[in-house]
Amino acid sequence: MAKKIPQPTNGPRERAFLVGVDVYQQRSFLPLQDSLSELALLSDTSGLEVVGELTQKLDRPHVKTYIGPGKVDELKLLVEETRSQAVIFDDELSPRHQRELQEALGRNVKVLDRTALILDIFAQHAHTSEGMLQVELAQYEYYLPRLTGQWTHLERQAGGGGGRAGSTGGVGLRGPGETQLEVDKRAIRKRISHLKKELEKVEAHRSRYRAQRKRSKIPTVALVGYTNAGKSTLLNRLAKAEVYVADQLFATLDPTTRRVELPGGYQALFTDTVGFIQKLPTTLVEAFHATLEEIVEADLLLHVVDISHPNALNQYQSVQATLDQLGAQHIPVVTALNKVDQLRDPDAAKQVVSHFSAKAVTISALKAIGIPDLLRVIQEELYETYAPVLVRLPYQQGALISLFHEAGQVERIEHGRGGVLMQGRIPGRLLAQFRNWQVSPNYQEPEEEEAEL
């Protein structure tokens, strides 16, 4: 099915034609048309003007061109008719798919996919040196297998950092038998290696910073959610801060941490993290490892959901799936159903709370609705909610043994030569710190260790 969208032809922006495929074998949290609407928003955020779209249902992607040969011919005619300069696929294309489609549509038309589009947006919105490094790494790793001897895509997509993708300055002369393409690929691999080393330094710095925060005993809360759910607006409201806010996808990319006052004189550090999206590119997850660790190391996750969005539940499930992918299933979660002020009946949101999580609060970050209730639930989860735990802690983990005594409720303790078996209840926010030492309820000391005793 093809649909042309009337658009003015004299705008300064590049004209883009969207392609969506409903693949039976691939799981998607959004229906095809809703996913294409999201792709159109991404395109607009990237600075493109969407002039039409084409859809197809397939059991599996076509081996050469992703869409069927007939659809390729139809797409070519539509691209010519709408004078499109770019074709954007809603799914990630393999290097072969991209090459074959490029050949079929002609070199004057850029063939991109959702991943390339998100990379372009990230490149525009990365303002810190860390963000630029992460985006540049993701770009190079994405484009390396797609390199075909011309740099037209890279010239548009390249981010900040220490060099632009598409620049071979400083590469030197080719070796015997080397083509320029081989030289370019070698230069990119060298740059990737350098970027990874730089990001390792960033990760080490973040680890030291997190350790310092843990020593201060101030719990950390990571704000997570679908892009444009209102996380930055909520952080501004909670911390009385001025984090950049815009009504567009991925308005903020670099993490921001602020101190927030909780009821009862308690405090917590809240970190705003990059917004999630369905089909989040693997290259981005890997490149943003240091940033995403802020989520995995948090004491509590505050999942912000745009309850006014027609696909709110699908977006919620998409974020939960990404959190599982990151290994954050063990962290307690409080859900903030945001933007109730945009609902025709704000009370209707309370009727669907159970569909999201047991600890969900309806709020409006913009209008300050429900904020006291949200802070109370967060304070209870961080300081008053205790979880049963049984751990065997080596004596070298003296800090954890002390933490159990200070913050928890010890019900049983057995000292051995190798360590101490402790059973009781601890605040839910501390569970992650004891995760590596948890044992089953019927745990018994190994016989070998008894023999050594």
What integer pLDDT is reported at residue 155 of this predicted model?
A: 42
Q: Does residue 134 have a pLDDT over 70? A: yes
Instruction: Name the H helices within 179-246.
Output: 180-215, 231-239
67-71, 344-348, 368-372, 397-401: which has the minimum mean pLDDT? 344-348
Dihedrals φ, ψ of 325, to 5°?
Answer: -60, -35
State residue 153's pLDDT score. Answer: 41
Q: What is the mean pLDDT of residues 142-152?
A: 69
Classify residue 39 as exposed, middle or buried by CB count within 10 Å of its CB (0-12, 13-18, 19+). buried
Is the C-alpha dihedral spanning 258, 261, 265, 269 positive or negative? Answer: negative
Average pLDDT of the residues in 356-366: 89
Name residue, tokens 């954890």. 400
Q: Are 388 and 435 in contact (CB under 8 A)?
A: no
Question: How confident is the model over 230-241, as a mean pLDDT?
Answer: 88
CA 410-411-412 angle, 5° bins:
100
Residue 8, pLDDT > 50, answer no
For residue 175, the model assigns a pLDDT of 58
**420 pLDDT tier (thresholds 50, 70, 90):** very high
Between 92 and 245, residue with greater pLDDT: 92
Q: Identify the H or E element spanning 44.
A: helix 32-46
Residue 333, strand partner residues: 301
Q: Give the model's pLDDT for residue 6.
A: 45
Q: Which of the two residues, 251 and 439, has the higher pLDDT score? A: 439
Q: What is the pLDDT of residue 290?
A: 62
pLDDT tens for each residue of 307-324: 999 889 999 998 998 888
Decide if pLDDT at 166 tops 70. no
149: phi > 0 → left, psi -120 to 50 → alpha, else beta; which? left
Query: Which position has the higher pLDDT, 272 or 10?
Result: 272
Report the pLDDT value the prediction gives residue 447, as an integer from 0 to 100: 57
Distance CA 260, CA 239 (A): 5
Q: Distance (Å, rounded) from C-alpha 163 to C-alpha 231?
A: 31
- pLDDT higher for 33 or 427? 33
| Type of residue numbered 198 | E
Question: Which backbone phi and psi does 156 adopt, to 5 degrees?
Answer: -80, -40
Question: How big is the CA angle at 321 (ends 315 and 324), to the nearest 5 degrees?
Answer: 145
Say if residues 249 and 380 touch (Cβ distance below 8 Å): no
Q: How confident is the model at residue 154 (pLDDT cuts 50, 70, 90)?
A: very low
Task: Inform me whether the pLDDT recorded for 58 exceeds 50.
Answer: yes
Q: What is the mean pLDDT of residues 269-287?
A: 80
d(CA 249, CA 254): 14
| pLDDT surpassing 80 at residue 280 | no
Residue 177, pLDDT score: 54
Task: Tell me which residue of 437, 438, 407, 405 sits closest to 219, measured CA to CA.
Answer: 407
Distance CA 314, CA 320 (A): 10
Split at pLDDT 50, 70, 90, the class of 210 is low
pLDDT class for 156, splitting at 50, 70, 90? very low
148 φ, ψ to 5°? -130, 20
185 within 8 A of 147, measured Cβ to Cβ: yes
Residue 40 is predicted with a pLDDT of: 94
How many residues are recorded in the chain? 453
Tell me the mean pLDDT in the region 216-230: 86
pLDDT band at 152 (very low <50, low <70, confident <90, very high): very low
Answer whether 20's CB lies under 8 Å from 3's CB: no
Which amino acid would we find at residue 332? P
pLDDT for 160 beyond 90: no
pLDDT at 174: 55
Structure confidence at residue 126 (pLDDT):
76
Residues 405-427: what's their mean pLDDT? 88
| Predicted pLDDT of residue 430 | 82
Lowest mean pLDDT among 195-199, 216-220, 361-365: 216-220
Which residue(s) pair with 112 in the sheet?
88
DSSP 133-191: HHHHHHHHHHHGGG--S--HHHHHH--STTS-TT--TT--PPPTT--HHHHHHHHHHHH
For position 165, what pLDDT does the model report?
Answer: 38
Cβ neighbourhood burial of 285 (10 Å; 0-12, 13-18, 19+) = middle
